[in-house]
Structure 1
Amino acid sequence: MAANPTPHSDTSDPPEPSTSAASAVDGSGKHPVDRTLPPAKLFTSGLQHVAAMYAGVVAPPMIVGPAVGLSAHDTAFLMGASLFTAGIATLLQTLGVWKIGARLPFVNGVSFAGVTPMIAIGKDRGTEGIAVIFGAVLVAGLVGFLLTPYFCKLVRFLPPVVTGTVITLIGLSLLPVAFRWAQGGDAAADDYGSMRNVGLAALTLAVVLALRKLLRGFLQQIAILLGLVVGTLVAVPLGMTGFDAVADADVVGFPTPFHFGAPQFEIAAILSMCIVMLVCMTESTADMLALGRIVDKPADERTIEGGLRADTLGSALSPLFNGFMASAFAQNVGLVAMTKVRSRFVVAAAGGILVLLGLFPVAASVIALVPLPVLGGAGVALFGTVAASGIQTLALAALEKGENALIVAAAVGIGTIPIAAPDFYHAFPEDLLVVLDSGISTGCIVAIVLNLAFNHWGRRPAAQDGPADAGRGGSGRHTGFVHVSE
């Protein structure tokens, strides 16, 4: 892989594989992404992915359910349905059907981007509000599916200066989530931010780091899972976790289709969720590019198209089983980066586990035993790894040339506004907050626009261009991260 640019072209030839990607292919012709693992390793590595994402999957229904007036029983039903539909979407991504699926170790789950709009749609309307939400998500998923062939062509405008910025923002945007988990998750709780919570998070992080340092082979790869187990065991005598949820959970609970009635369709709700769908597609594109870089299998236009099809189709199918919009889970990208386990079948196993958790609530309740501070400690390592991967990508962006450093500075600065100043956009129209409150989306848009302004529009003929073209996006001869030398 080389950072030397090729002349900008408007052709749509498929990108050539990078040197590192080619070298990753084994003697049988299989890339590590396409290799299988022994059953025991497949299950434990998949379970580690589930543990990393579980809280993120069940949190949106935990928030939306009570906000729209659902009972605790119905909210629990939504949580199980979200696990089930996240598993279906993840299987679509990893195994693929026809031209659907990125066929990368790519995890899908419930998107946080839709929480605020869904609450606004269904507030105080109970089951009728949920039916309107499901109708809007269904239509938004179908609209996104139809737009995918056109949306994925944006990859030609995502060179290292853009993708590195976005990947860095993904990590930075996730770190506050880890910090909130480390404090206890509930800001209204008496022990929020207590030394006991933060101490448990610090202990978990220390255990993960120690295991990564001391262990070798497969045990080193599942250091996150082992750290979660150790942290949870420490939490039990401290009274920071209990087994009441396991005792109260149903053994079997299939997410009955249309449990809350047939979807209802309202124009305003549909438009709101279509905007959320575009935000999710933007973030998923960035995550696929990040994951392709991490697994040495750069995500080209075809891969992104398949991945977005899985995202949007998964979102359209989710309401049928009482689930919400499906999107990429960046924390699992960090897990792949840390463990170096690149097999997509590991994540497919995670998808299968999620489906089973949705069908067997008692099993899901066991995973829920992991206290949020424990997840927070592990999350610092996971999410920080994503940011580090973005910085590594920026090293390929020739920041010393042209205005590439300025592009990164502006995009990162604007992208971190929701993190550094959460109330910055408080006076803006609520409809705009769907995009503005996502630092990943705003940073991505700023990086793309500035890259076009500085490295595309009004440039000299290609023969006169210098190395600053490393910031340019060309269609056809680049991998989505760096251009390939001829």
Structure 2
Amino acid sequence: MPHPVDVPHHPADLRHPVDQTLPPGKLLTSGLQHVAAMYAGVVAPPLVVGAGVGLSTADITFLMSASLFTAGLATLLQTLGIWKIGARLPFVNGVSFAGVAPMLAIAKSAAPGHALPVIYGSVIVAGVLGFALAPYFCRLIRFFPPVVTGSVITLIGISLLPVAINWAQGGNAQDPGYASTSNIALAAATLVIVLVLRRVLTGFLQQIAILIGMLLGTLVAVPLGKTDFGAIGQAGIIGFPTPFHFGAPEFSVAAIISMCVVMLVCMTESTADILALAKIVDKPADAAVLTAGIRADALGSAVSPLFNGFACSAFAQNIGLVAITKVRSRFVVAAGGGILVLLGLCPALASVIALVPQPVLGGAGLVLFGSVAASGVRTLADAGLDDGNNLLIVAASLGVGVIPVVSDTFYAHFDEHLRIILDSGISTGCLVAVVLNLAFNHLGRGGVPAVGESEQELGRPRQAAGAQVVEH
């Protein structure tokens, strides 16, 4: 019998890398790396909302575990899929930051003790609405040629960089040690460790260089007193997120309208994220994939309140991890989803992940989020920027998109509901790019692309035709 190496090809090798599985060890460690990259983003919203509604420390911890559990369920739904639900891409879902400010506003207007039930009721309705709108919303794919997707992907990376910078400083501006030289030095050391590991390691170890870098960064933080082990002793071994722990959902029209707007923002960002990830893994997303992906977001959001979670959406930071590691298997992220479920069921395990100090996350985040922006730049290289119109589209969309990144008070005097959209540079930049692309490259030049265009035509920069008209 020939040695396995001599066997020409196993049928599984013919599958796209996205659909290939990895050995259990690689599957687990790569999945853990995804969890480490997005953990802080999952627990931050329940921390903020829990404190905002006046929950006790025990209830906030419960809220964090519930968010981890529901994020895991949503990630499994997104990666593995059922029926026409789930993009079946290496796509991580978690608690959306877009809903934090509206939920705090809802909490202020709700009767004492009813804030979370009202929030959960509005999230359920918004999730159902998003699920129903998904097939129609995803027809917008024809408005996302490279000049648009490249601008949006670049904005995703730029918008995330302040998060990494905040982590590098300590994560909490109220902390006396915030932005201390020791915090920044720890973040810098983690960044250097990750870069060195990427340079000297090979094979699978190179792929999990960020995970190893965060582990080494945490070890460096221990003698510096940057790691808090107290949470481990206080956490329970098992803790199931009891359904409707904070009360049955309540339905308020104003709260529902507010969260429906949030859902539309999440759908817009998820559309851009799916297109970005599909480009990175070399498996272009058509309207059916976008519809399935947004359905998973919406269904995950509708089900999350049952287990005391919040609205779910795509986590862009994990797109950067896929871009860096080149590990494209969706089953790796599914493993990460399974780990998130276990973390939600075992607060003690969740507290171990929480040992990673914020500055260490910041150092690794600079690489992760910067790589997303770099992927956008790479996409823009195919967008025909030698055409002045396309260059203008990119310039305007990036300019508008970075406004909330560089100034958190720019829209301070606008209506609070309108700010939900304006404060998301990804959403505003995407809207500007789509509108300008239509104005400069479609209107009066053959019209808007037809819904029935093929996947290849959808992916080809439509604006090239416009450039030819100018030349003639």
TM over 0.5: yes
DSSP-derived class of the 2:227 partner: coil
Does the C-alpha gap of structure 1 residues 218 and 85 become closer, same or farther in structure 2, counting only changes over 3 Å?
same
The answer to whether the 8 Å contact 1:157/1:474 transfers is no
Aligned to 2:295: 309
The answer to whether the 8 Å contact 1:69/1:126 transfers is no
Aligned to 2:5: none
State the Cα distance separating 1:399 from its structure 2 match: 1.1
Q: Matched residues in 2 for 1:304 and 1:33: separation?
A: 16
Structure 2 counterpart of 1:320, from 283, 291, 306:
306
Aligned to 1:164: 150
Structure 2 counterpart of 1:182, from 150, 163, 168:
168
Aligned to 1:375: 361
The answer to whether the 8 Å contact 1:49/1:335 transfers is yes
User: Which range moves more in the overlay, 472-481 or 83-92?
Assistant: 472-481
State the Cα distance separating 1:299 from its structure 2 match: 1.0
State the Cα distance separating 1:483 from its structure 2 match: 5.3
Aligned to 1:13: none
State the Cα distance separating 1:402 from its structure 2 match: 4.7
State the Cα distance separating 1:344 from its structure 2 match: 0.1
Q: Matched residues in 1 for 2:43 and 2:111: separation?
A: 21
Structure 1 counterpart of 2:54, from 69, 79, 85:
69
The answer to whether the 8 Å contact 1:70/1:126 transfers is no
- 2:184 partner amino acid: V
Does the C-alpha gap of structure 1 residues 225 and 473 become closer, same or farther in structure 2, counting only changes over 3 Å?
farther
Paired-residue identity, %: 67
Aligned to 1:430: 416
1:121 aligns with 2:106: yes
- 1:304 partner amino acid: L
Aligned to 1:410: 396
Structure 1 counterpart of 2:453, from 471, 476, 480:
476
The answer to whether the 8 Å contact 1:26/1:32 transfers is no
Q: Matched residues in 1 for 2:11 and 2:420: separation?
A: 44
- 2:94 partner amino acid: G
The answer to whether the 8 Å contact 1:293/1:481 transfers is no
Q: Matched residues in 2 for 1:108 and 1:178: separation?
A: 19
Does the C-alpha gap of structure 1 residues 28 and 222 become closer, same or farther in structure 2, counting only changes over 3 Å?
closer
Q: Matched residues in 1 for 2:54 and 2:166: separation?
A: 25
DSSP-derived class of the 2:211 partner: helix
| 1:10-32 Cα distance to aligned partner (Å, 9 max, x none) | xxxxxxxxxxxxxxx98743000
Structure 1 counterpart of 2:71, from 70, 86, 98:
86
Does the C-alpha gap of structure 1 residues 340 and 126 become closer, same or farther in structure 2, counting only changes over 3 Å?
farther
DSSP-derived class of the 1:403 partner: helix
State the Cα distance separating 1:185 from its structure 2 match: 0.6
User: Could you list the runs of 5+ residues in structure 2 that have no partner in the other structure?
Assistant: 1-9, 465-472
TM-score by length of 1: 0.91
How many residue pairs were aligned?
452
DSSP-derived class of the 1:109 partner: strand
Q: Matched residues in 1 for 2:12 and 2:346: separation?
A: 41
Q: 1:225-236 alignment to 2 at 5 Å? A: 225-236=211-222
1:258 aligns with 2:235: no
Structure 2 counterpart of 1:240, from 226, 232, 256:
226
User: Could you list the runs of 5+ residues in structure 1 that have no partner in the other structure?
Assistant: 1-24, 463-468
State the Cα distance separating 1:474 from its structure 2 match: 7.5
| 1:86-143 Cα distance to aligned partner (Å, 9 max, x none) | 0000000000000000000000000000000000101375541000000000000000
State the Cα distance separating 1:473 from its structure 2 match: 8.9
TM-score by length of 2: 0.93
| 1:208-262 Cα distance to aligned partner (Å, 9 max, x none) | 0000000000000000100000000011111101211001001100000011111
DSSP-derived class of the 2:313 partner: strand
Aligned to 2:136: 150
- 1:140 partner amino acid: A
Q: 1:45-64 alignment to 2 at 5 Å? A: 45-64=30-49
CA RMSD in angstroms comes to 1.7
1:214 aligns with 2:200: yes
State the Cα distance separating 1:477 from its structure 2 match: 3.0
Q: Matched residues in 2 for 1:372 and 1:318: separation?
A: 27
Does the C-alpha gap of structure 1 residues 394 and 339 become closer, same or farther in structure 2, counting only changes over 3 Å?
same
Does the C-alpha gap of structure 1 residues 361 and 125 become closer, same or farther in structure 2, counting only changes over 3 Å?
farther
Does the C-alpha gap of structure 1 residues 231 and 475 become closer, same or farther in structure 2, counting only changes over 3 Å?
farther
Aligned to 1:357: 343
| 1:339-398 Cα distance to aligned partner (Å, 9 max, x none) | 000000000000000000000000000000000000000000000000000000001110
The answer to whether the 8 Å contact 1:477/1:483 transfers is no
State the Cα distance separating 1:70 from its structure 2 match: 1.3
